A = this chain, B = another copy of it.
Amino acid sequence: MDPASADESLLHLPGFALRRAANVMMGKLTAQLSEMNLRLSDASVMLLVSDRNDMTSADIGKELDIQRANMVPVLARLEEAGLIQREPIDRKSQAIMLTPAGVRKLAQVRDVTDRFENELLNRIPAKHRPHFLPALLSLIQ
């Protein structure tokens, strides 16, 4: 690096800024969700399953990048809270679907996440805004 361009922070590095931005924004969302006793993974599962009744634990894990073994405590927590139920597909697999209470809670989750996503986009200056999601998606293969 050119010594003259030395930065006392590392925020000029896109990778570093990407990590920091994700941490800042996810920290905010995590705080809002924790007020309704949900974690980020809980809300993600609920949004993903929403009105579907054909997703297994493994399916959800693939979509959310959570390994099978790590889905166990997530689903156990949601089931314990009465937000999801399991319905046998065959004798090996079970579909994860929201309970009626889960459907009601999902409406609250959507309130929070819709507001969150809007606030996120509104923080980005208008001229950069339309490029943000496409740029992110290009990084996810």
Query: Which A positions have Cβ atoms within 8 angstroms of B?
Result: 1, 3, 6, 8-26, 29, 44, 47-48, 50-51, 63-65, 110, 113, 116-117, 120-121, 123-125, 127-129, 131-141
Is the Cβ of B137 less than 8 Å from the Cβ of A125? no
Is the Cβ of A10 less than 8 Å from the Cβ of B48? yes
Identify whether the interface residues of A are mostly helix, strand, loop, or mixed.
helix
Q: Quick one: copies of this chain in the complex?
A: 2
Is the Cβ of B113 less than 8 Å from the Cβ of A21? no
Docked CA distance A16–B133 (Å): 10
Is the Cβ of A139 less than 8 Å from the Cβ of B1? no
Partner of A25, one of B1, B137, B139: B139
Query: With A20-B65, A23-B65 given, is the CB distance from A14 to B139 under 8 Å?
Result: no
Q: Which residue of B lies closest to A40 (CB)?
A: B19
Partner of A140, one of B11, B116, B138, B140: B11
Partner of A24, one of B10, B124, B139: B139
